Structure 1
Amino acid sequence: MLRELHIRDMLLIDRLELEFSAGLNVLTGETGAGKSILLDCLGFVLGWRGRAELVRSGASQGEVTAVFDLPPDHPARAVLADAGIAAEDELILRRVNSTDGRKTAWINDRRSSGEVLRRLSDTLVELHGQHDDRGLLNPRGHRQMLDAFGAIDLSPIRAAWAARREAAQAMEAAEARLDQARAEEDFLRHAVAELDGFAPEPGEDARLDTARRSMQAAERIREDVARAAQALGPDGAEGAMLDANRWLEGAAEKAEGRLDEAMNALARALIELGEASQGVEDALGEMRFDPHELETTEERLFALRALARKHDTTPDDLAELAETLRTRLAELDAGEEDLSRLRAAVDAAEQDYSTAAEALSAARVRAASRLDQAMSAELAPLKMDRAAFETRVTETEAGPEGRDAVAFTVATNPGAPAGPLDKIASGGELSRFLLALKVSLARGNDAVTMIFDEIDRGVGGATADAVGRRLARLAEGAQVLVVTHSPQVAALGATHFRVSKQVGGEMTTSRVARLDHAARIDEIARMLSGEQVTDAARDAARALVG
């Protein structure tokens, strides 16, 4: 709900502070007093594109501030969240216009763009009148309005559309994979056969390389180790030391102990020599290998590395590559079967969507019939009982909200062709059509502030009273602002503002006053009688106010 509007140095307004109420707010005043200026200023702070020169003559800049109350579930909160602005129960919009044309905007003291203001305005305000291209006259919104009027649940069609899209995407992806597999079928079959025949294993490169280097090293040193074994054995050092030991044992009895220490040392040396000889023999045994094994190991190692280079990968990744290629080959072999299954899923999803779309179309046709009946009931009191309103539901391109196009059309006279509201109806007729349509579509507790700009133009008497009563009905549980020249409409307002023009020196300014009961009677009397307000006019005004 629009709670406050503050204007400084805009057009004919120097300073103005207005407080609006819930329900029906009416703005009256003589022609040219500046009622449209208020709408221009409100449109400016909401980011609407309008008049280029708004700053009051003599001022350096103009400024408009609008304060809105936001209930917890108000759709403006989602717009604020998208813009990264914290939502509060009070929304303050401020916009400044400099004389050089620069415009600066703030939302709750955060700098903002005009685009964010316009997105917010769609959730805050509806303007209805002869130039209503943002609301009821915009055909792009007619389907949404009809769905809201008919309380139509769109979740089944949206779910069916999502399932249809997912099924189609899955089939397209499978077809792309199959086409790619077919293009490389010969390569896949050859590569899989080659890899399966070779059967590479992870870590095999390191194992083969270690074994190869070990056998190569053994080949190089085994001859020297064998010589060492021979030099240490019975034909070498061991045999000589045993001979020396026998000779010493034969001489020891006559040496009277002089050889004991030497013989002990020799015994120890024989033990050490035996251990050394055994170690060399053991090493020599380990170095024994089959030259054919070395050749086989080298061939496997070189073939493994060549295969890795061929497939531009590492030897350790060849096994994984083989599994990947086998999978792709299996997809190719099973591709047609998968495609048949996916095509069946697409057909089923398409049928489900068609079923949901047909049910939705039928619901919209029923809702359109009810809306047409409601419009017929509303148009008669507005002296438009000869006009025919029709909600047309036609087929269009399928989408997540069905395959229906919805357009509100009207024929103003029997036998005349029907067409879009803004192309067929005259100014006064259009205003009444829009009012009847808004009343018919209203579901109560509107989140937006509805503004009607001279929607009662060209009507009077009982028709004006019918207009006023419909505006009052709209204002039940909502906020409606109406600029009016009709005393019948003004008399039904819950809050009444009078716009007047004042001339002081060479400066003309507009003033807006909130009227108490007595001032309101005088204003409605002026609207009834003209410049001279008579007692009879005041009595008539009191009768209208009731």
Structure 2
Amino acid sequence: MLRGLDIRDMLLIDRLELEFQPGLNVLTGETGAGKSILLDSLGFVLGWRGRAELVRAGARQGEVTAWFDLPHGHPARAVLEDAGIAGGDELILRRVNTAEGRKTAYVNDRRTSGDVLRRLSETLVELHGQHDDRGLLDPKGHQRLLDEYAGAGDALARCRGAWRARSSTRRALADARRVLDAIREEEEFLRHSVSELDRLAPRAGEDAELDLRRRMMQGAERVRGDILRAHAALSSDGAESLLNDALRWLEGAAEGAEGSLDAPIAALARALNELADAEQGVAASLDVLSYDPRELEETEERLFAIRGLARKYDVLPDVLAEHAEMLRGRLAALDAGQEDLDTLERDLRAAEAEYAAAAGGLRALRQEAALRLDNAMRAELAPLKMERAVFETRITDGEPGPDGFDAVAFTVATNPGAPSGPLAKIASGGELSRFLLALKVCLTQNASGLTLIFDEIDRGVGGATADAVGRRLAALAGDAQVLVVTHSPQVAALGQHHWRVEKTVVDEITTSNVVPLGPDERIDEIARMLAGDVVTREARGAARALLDG
């Protein structure tokens, strides 16, 4: 329940503090006195969209504070907990607007966002008038309102979950089909490529190994001729034969040389030993450098084949094996793709069946609630002098979506047999007010802790009809706090608490003020509403009669 409102430097209001009460609270005043300013200020602190320029001329900033009672279990407590804000039995909202347009919001003295204010406002206040934008006149919101009336939260959650599962499976199936179609387009290429790579069977690092072996064999071919010639020069047909001849000749002459040949003979013997070692080493080198020319040819052929495929597939030679594995994987996906598609198609059929069941259950719940709402509206319209009017909640096939496959619209006919249509197009101003009042009463009958605000809901009606509207508002206020901005004396007379909005001009400065009215002041105000500027004795008598009921 809204307990109070403190407004400072907002539009035409200098400083205003109001304390509201349970029951029916009425605000009256001449046109232009500032009743809309009061609602604009309340909407500002609740985070609603409204006027851009709110700060009073000449003021540095404007500020609005509103405080509410929060009984145990009030839905606003859940919003506070979700936002991490401490709560209690009282909720204080404060919002500041600077002259430059900067807005700052506080909840229980903790700075917060406008989004948190709006979420709180949905649990605290319902504002309604002939031109409100909060759902009754907007066909797009009718389904949501019917679902709230039906208590369809669990059914909606099931339907939305089934829709998400259905949508996810449809996307997976579409993706699988795209992938499979793309693979099918290159099936011939894949099979040829995999066969070609499998025949070659390249290994990682094989290119470097083959290149090294090839260079070794090519180098051996160049140097082996020189080593062969050196080997021939060192063998028994070359230096070894000549040294043996020299040694034999010297040994034959040594007896007559008186020892002068001993040293040369010893040196030659050593030279022959060294020569033998050299000849053995050269022979061993020849063995190492020996190769089969066919091996060089085969090595080169494989090396060129690997590098040719690497160029063909635009990868490095060392990545050929990995590339072949990737192509085999795509080919395997093609071979297994149809089986995967069959599985996904079965999953989709199951998901669609689950969605159809959930949406069908939701439709049944809505149809039952629509009948209850239509009957409730019939009962509400009769006391409002519209017993011949027809209200119907129409449920037709709509585009399937997360909230089911229904299209919901509230339609009315002002008389039996008359064509029915949307609320805003069929009903006249006075009829529309009563339709909307009845609908608001029906849709909020299960709401707890809401403050209901009706902005000139009685516009366009008078006499007995206005009295009927007032009595319905008073009955509604028996279980809720109701604030009514009204120009109807019949409605004002039924209020339990009455405020007058008035405008004054002092030193060419205009300000609006709101004053509570006592019993005598209420008589004068209602008499003014009946008679106009000149309040007569007869008008006061009529006002007393209205107040006495």
TM-score range for the pair, normalised by the shorter chain length: 0.7 to 0.9
**Identity rate of aligned residues, in percent?**
51
Instruction: Give deviations 1:19-52, integer Å, cap 9, x for gaps.
Output: 5558557342332232122224445667767668
Equivalent in the alignment of 2:79: 74
User: Which residue matches 2:519?
Assistant: 521
Contact kept? 1:456, 1:484, Cα under 8 Å: yes
1:285 positional shift: 2.1
CA RMSD of aligned residues (A): 4.5
Deviation at 1:327, TM superposition (A): 3.3
The answer to whether the 8 Å contact 1:105/1:112 transfers is no
Q: Give the 3 Å change call, closer, same or farther, for CA 186–441 of structure 1 in structure 2.
A: same
**How much has 1:490 moved relative to structure 2?**
5.8
Structure 1 residue aligned with 2:390: 388
Give the unaligned 5+ runs of structure 1.
79-85
**Residue 180 (str. 1) matches residue 182 (str. 2):** yes
SS of match in other structure, 2:479: helix
Question: Residues 245 and 263 of structure 1 are in contact (CA less than 8 Å); yes or no, is this contact kept in structure 2?
Answer: no
Closer, same or farther: CA 55–166 of 1 in aligned 2, 3 Å = closer
**Aligned-residue offset at 1:231:** 5.0
Aligned counterpart, 2:71: none
Look up the match of 1:37.
37
Where does the alignment leave 5 or more consecutive residues of structure 2 unmatched? 69-74, 529-534
Is the 2:434–2:469 Cα contact (8 Å) retained in structure 1?
no
Which whole-Å CA distance do the structure 2 matches of 1:319 and 1:208 have between them? 16
Distance between the aligned counterparts of 2:135 and 2:85, measured in 1?
25
Q: Which residue of 470, 473, 481 corresponds with 1:467?
A: 473
SS in 2 for 1:403: strand
Q: Which of 197, 201, 204 is matched with 2:203 structurally?
A: 201
When residues 265 and 149 of structure 1 are mapped into structure 2, their CA distance, relative to the original with a 3 A threshold, is farther
In structure 2, C-alpha distance between the alignment counterparts of 1:448 and 1:273, rounded to whole Å? 118
Aligned to 1:8: 9
TM-score by length of 2: 0.77
Where do 1:135-284 residues align within 5 Å? 135-152=135-152, 153-230=155-232, 278-284=280-286
Q: Distance in 2 between matches of 1:435 and 1:141?
A: 17
CA deviation after TM superposition for structure 1 residue 422, in Å: 2.0
Task: Please give the alpha-carbon distance, in whole angstroms, between the structure 1 residues aligned to 2:265 and 2:334.
Answer: 87
Shift of 1:122: 6.5
1:135–1:260 CA distance, 2 compared to 1 (3 A): same
- Closer, same or farther in 2 for the Cα pair 1:132/1:504, shift >3 Å? same
Structure 2 matches for 1:359-438, cutoff 5 A?
359-438=361-440
In the TM superposition, what is the alpha-carbon distance from 1:195 to its structure 2 partner?
Answer: 2.1
> Conserved in 2, the CA contact under 8 Å of 1:28 and 1:483?
yes
Structure 1 pair 239–484 and aligned structure 2 pair: CA distance change class (3 A): farther
* Contact residue 27 and residue 497 of structure 1 kept, 8 A: yes
In the other structure, the counterpart of 1:83 is none
- Give the counterpart letter for 1:172 in structure 2: A
- Match for 1:482: what amino acid? V
Q: 1:369 to 1:271 in 2, by over 3 A?
A: farther
Other-structure match for 1:306: 308
Q: Can you list the C-alpha shifts for 1:355-385, whole angstroms capped at 9, x where unaligned?
A: 3222221111111112222223333333333
1:124 and 1:186 map into 2 onto residues whose CA distance is 68
What residue identity is the alignment partner of 1:133? D
Distance 1:398 1:441 in 2: 25
SS in 2 for 1:18: strand
Distance 1:436 1:396 in 2: 27
1:300, 1:455 → 2: CA distance?
93
- Residues 172, 40 of structure 1: alpha-carbon distance in 2 compared, 3 angstrom cutoff: same
Between 31-40 and 63-72, the greater mean CA deviation after superposition: 63-72
TM-score, normalising length: structure 1: 0.78
- Size of the aligned set, in residue pairs, is 519
Q: Distance in 2 between matches of 1:524 and 1:423?
A: 37
Q: CA deviation at 1:262?
A: 10
Alpha-carbon distance change, 158 to 51 in structure 1, aligned in 2, over 3 angstroms: closer
CA–CA separation in structure 1 for the residues paired with 2:265 and 2:431: 140
